[in-house]
Structures are given as structure tokens and as C-alpha cells.
Amino acid sequence: MSAEPFLPTPTAIPSAAPRYGVWLIGARGSVATTAVTGCAAVAAGLHPPTGMVTETADFADCGLPPLSSLVFGGHDTVDCPLPKRAEHLAAGGVLPHGLPAAVHAELLTADREIRPGGPPPGAPGDVSVATGDDGPARTQDDWIDAFAADIRAFVRRNDLAGAVVVNVASTEPAPADGALPPSSLYAAAALRADCPYVNFTPSTGLHHPALADAAETAGLPHAGRDGKTGQTLLRSVLGPMFRQRALAVRAWSGTNLLGGGDGAALADPGAAAAKNGGKERVLTDTLGTTPEGEVHIDDVPALGDWKTAWDHVAFDGFLGSRMILQTVWQGCDSALAAPLVLDLARLTLRARQKGLTGPLRELGFYFKDPVGDGPAALAEQYADLLTLAARLRDDAGAEGSGGGAEGPAGAEGPDGGDGGSGGDGRRDRRSPQARPDPRGGQDQHGSEAGR
């Protein structure tokens, strides 16, 4: 009798590693293009992760999604392909020469996942807004539905374990009426698509009174607003220094010279006012008083994506001796912002996985005007960030963050688990007026709004 042939014991085939989506509002802008290009370059080992806090030793065991697991998509109102946009940034010195070609496939893949944004610039802000293609007018709820459908389709199409929506679009003026501005329509769509939300801009986003209740009850983590990349980063260090050394600051003035899309957007006085609010607020919070002086922003198209920020600080020393400190910060906002966007996407996705809900106060380290009631000094904010890192580790249970409530223990995947309410933690933004429901359906009066 012949021997039976040897058949190895079947072994389980490991399942594919989960992938996570990063849905960028303003997906073809300089910051988004730099983030997508940089993520591909770092994941491939072409460049070190300079500027990425989440790639330092303190975050090594926090269970963050690997850079190689991130899939990009988004909304934008412009149609310049990402590979071409990256080439333009390389020509301007923002990206290394040759890098767009090296990661062309990744840029093309992300570009295919970008969908048309809206409402179109200049749309009316009273009732309905046109689609911009001779189609029927859309209400604000129609826009939210359409944006949310795009996000959900992105998650399904790519078989993602979860996704986060990050606003990196140009700054918009503060809304002058009760209508939801575009940034708030996108924020509402994130909630409706059951995705965490990060506002890296000073635009309204989730701060709109009409979205307060939805943000509190969505059971999702959110963070913002207005990324801290240069001048305000320095202020958050110098302000505490003056106060701790008992040096009386008499005046603090600043000027920003910048070009590119940000320069053009901030030439609008309303947008500039929204931007300057966070720059000035950090001084009040760190000094304990509001010094004389203002910040001025000048659009200098010749500078392209580069910025020069100058601060002039007048202060008193011992026996009234008058002194001056001047600082000059010259840098590229896109290169400063992109690693922070990747940090925030990874941290927020992990927070969702761990069941954290509501405003992530510990992410104040990244923002000029952070949600919640955390400190304004950078060193204290970094200590808070390390506290969040400890909560995100696998051996830590699900815990509430900032004003948010706990999600369910053992929530699985960044889309796993609902949580309790998660308020803003800074001020009461609720409004008695009718509110559109970001989770579906018309508001109680069927109101319509545009830009």
C-alpha cells in the first residue's frame, strides 16, 4: 500500500491590513498637495518625517494608522490635477525637485478620489444656491447630502476601516447671517457621513451655532481650529516667557507678508479678521492681558507659497528700562502645515477607534483657537498632547477627551462605537433658530441657505 502524500496543515492567510481615509476639503490646494506628496514620500522611505510629531518616540506605541495605510480623497472647486499641482509646487521650491515624478502614481490615485466642491464662489447666502452647471438650485441640506454621499462612497469604494474629514481650504470670512458657510456645510457632511472632523482653518466649520447640537450628539471626535504653524507658534512660546520672567509687555505688533492662494484669500478684510483673531487671542491667553498693537496681513503675490512674519515687542525691564524684541519668521506655510495635517488625521482616527468623542482638547497644541478650555502656552499644550498619547495606547481604556463623553469600551475600528455628547467646551454656541440636521432630513422650517 502506497504512502499517502504529505499535505501541509493549512495555515490561516493573514487578512489585509486595514486602510483609513483622509478626506481633504481643499484637496487640490498647496497644503493638501504637500500632505499627499509628503505622506507618499515618507511611507516609501524617500524622505524622513521631519515635522511630524506622531513619528517621534513619544507616539511610537499609540496604535496610530501607519502612513502607508492612508488613502486620500476630498472636495475642491478647482480642477487642476494633483500631479500638475505638485509640479508647480516643486518649481516654486515647496517640494523637492523630482519628488512629484517619484510619487506620481500616488498623486494620480488621490486625484481620482477628488469630487467637485461648492457652493460656487459668490453664491447668494439667503435662500437656495445654484449648482453652477445650469442645474436646479440646491438648498444647504442638498449640499450637505451630496457631500456626505461623496464621503460615504469613498469609504465603500476603497473598503476603508474609517475616515476623517480635514478642512484645509482657503480662509472664508465669518458668516454675516444665519446661513451656513461652505466650511460648515462640509463639517455637517462629515457628521452625516459618521466621520471625525478636523478644522485646520480659521473658517467657521463646526463652530456655527446651527451645528452645536449635532456636534454634541454625533458621538464623534472633532478638533480645531486654525493650524498653528509659524508666527502664532512663536507667540505661544514667547508669551509665557515674558509672563514667567515678570517682564511687562507694553505693545506687540506684527506683520505678515505672503502670496499664493492664502495671500489672495486673506486680502479679503473679513477673512483677514478671522485669521488675526487667533493670533491676537494667544497673546491675551498667555500674557494675562491684551497688549497694544495689531497684526497686519499683506498679499504679496511675488512671494508665492512663502511667508515672512515679523513681530515687534515693546516691554519694560527692571526699574522701567524700555526694551525691544524683534523676531522674523520666514518659511513655507504648506511645508509647515502638511506634517501637522497628517498628525491630526492619524490622531483623530485613533481617537475614534478608542471611542473618544466630542472636542479633543488635547490637540490644542496644533491650533491657534483650539476647542475646549485648555492652556495656550505651547509647553503646557504639549504636555496635554502626551496625555492624549497615553489614552490612545492599546493598554488604555476608552476615555472621554476634553468636553466629550466616553465612547463604548472596546469600540472596534475608527468607525466603531457611538459616544455621548461632546460639546465645544469654550462657549455656548447653541441658537434658538431653526437648524438643519446634519445627520439627515430638512431642518424644522425647511430653511435654505447658501454661501
Q: Is a pLDDT exceeding 80 seen at residue 236?
A: yes
Residue 409 has φ and ψ, to the nearest 5°, of -65, 140
274 vs 282 pLDDT, higher one: 282
pLDDT for residue 101 is more than 50: yes
Distance between CA atoms of residues 195 and 221, nearest Å: 8
- Mean pLDDT of the region 136-140: 85
The one-character DSSP state at 57 is G
Instruction: Kindly give the pairing relationship between strand 20-25 and strand 306-316.
Output: unpaired
Which stretch of 126-140, 153-167, 285-299 has the lowest confidence by average pLDDT?
126-140
If one counts every other C-beta atom within 10 angstroms of the C-beta of residue 313, the result is: 23
The residue-averaged pLDDT of 333-360 equals 97
**Ranges 153-157, 251-255, 400-404: which has the least confidence:** 400-404
The answer, yes or no, to whether residue 181 has pLDDT greater than 80, is: yes
Confidence at residue 264, expressed as pLDDT on a 0 to 100 scale: 63
User: Which own/partner contact pairs does 149-157 have at CB distance under 8 Å and 24+ positions apart?
Assistant: 150/75, 150/115, 150/189, 151/23, 151/189, 151/190, 151/193, 151/195, 152/193, 154/21, 154/23, 154/73, 154/113, 155/21, 155/193
| Predicted pLDDT at 358 | 96
Give the angle subtended at the CA of 153 by the CAs of 417 and 39, to the nearest 5°: 80
Q: Which residues contact 47 (CB under 8 A, 6 or more apart)?
A: 38, 41, 96, 99
- Across the range 9-22, mean pLDDT stands at 67
pLDDT, position 3 = 44
With a cut of 50, say whether residue 425 has pLDDT above it. Answer: no
pLDDT > 70? residue 22:
yes
Strand partners, 249: 315
pLDDT over 90 at 7, yes or no: no
Worst-scoring range by mean pLDDT, 195-204, 235-244, 295-304?
295-304
Q: Region 120-134: what's the mean pLDDT?
A: 48
Residue 419: name the closest of 338, 343, 357, 362 by CA. 357
- Least confident interval from 80-84, 217-221, 412-416: 412-416
pLDDT tops 50 at residue 383: yes
pLDDT confidence of residue 398 = 46
pLDDT at residue number 175: 87
**Is residue 329 within a helix (H) or strand (E), and if so which, with residue range?**
strand 322-332
Give dist(CA 268, CA 259) in Å, integer: 13
Q: Is 192 helix (H, G, I), strand (E, B) or coil?
A: helix
The residue ranges of DSSP E strands in 172-288, in sequence order, are 197-199, 221-224, 248-258
Alpha carbon distance 354, 415 (integer Å): 10
Nearest to 21, CA basis, from 84, 86, 65:
65
Residue 71 or 130, more confident: 71
**Whole-number mean pLDDT of the chain?**
83
Percent of the chain as helix, strand, coil, to the nearest 5: 40, 15, 45
Residue in 125, 146, 126 with CA at minimum distance from that of residue 135: 146
pLDDT classification of 278: cutoffs 50, 70, 90: low
